[in-house]
A = this chain, B = another copy of it.
Amino acid sequence: MNELLIEKLNRRYATKSFDREKVVSDIDWATLEEALRLTPSSYGMQPWKFLVIRDQAVKDSLVPVSWNQAQVADCSHLVVITVRTDVTGEDVDKLIEAAAVARGTDVESLEFYRRMIISDVVEGPRSLDVVGWAKLQSYIALGNLMTCAALLDIDCCPMEGFMPDKYDEILGLAEKGLTTSVVCPVGYRAEDDKYASKPKVRFPRDDVFETI
């Protein structure tokens, strides 16, 4: 696994040109969705919703608000990672209820856990910028997605170069209490994408690690 992992992470790159004819298979897509669903988040709050855009007209409409990057239209599955604009006591209750069911216990036994989340995310320090906190969690999902895709030889292109307000508008997110965090077209590299063969640029180990 060690060598395979590094080989796959080296094969991965920010895909500039997708093959429009190649579609991620249902079985692979189901795996990536399940991987995303299993992503860890602070307190297990999962303050996100993953929009998967397959409709070509919708994908096309997002290109002009994505710095004209064609990957948005040419990919197989366009993942728009959105986050909650607010986290309320009801959201915490929903998690606690899900936890009680999953663990075969009652919500009362999880009261300490519930109070801890409320006193941080709903009423405490994280509530001061709950969208910022939720976006951090969403980048865990992005990291997980990119690594899992790489392991399945599926390509992607993480993207911050887009207009979040326009995404929110086009996708009708405000009324759902969501806002766009980050975008990730997923699919297969075009055979002629010259970026595929360019050496990866990473600082040497000693520049980014310090052992104490």
Contacts and interface: CB of A to CB of B under 8 A. Distances in A.
Interface string A10-36: 101010000000000001100101111
Contacts of A6: 31, 34-35, 38
Contact of A143 (B44, B49, B139, B199): B139
Interface residues of A, number: 69
Q: Interface SS of chain A: helix, strand, loop or mixed?
A: helix
Nearest to A152: B1
Contacts of A139: 136-137, 139-140, 142-143
Number of copies: 2
Contacts of A144: 143-144, 146-147
A58 B212 CA distance: 8
Nearest to A39: B143
A126 to B, nearest CB: 8
Contacts of A95: 201
Given A40-B14, A98-B203, A135-B136, A1 B151 contact: yes
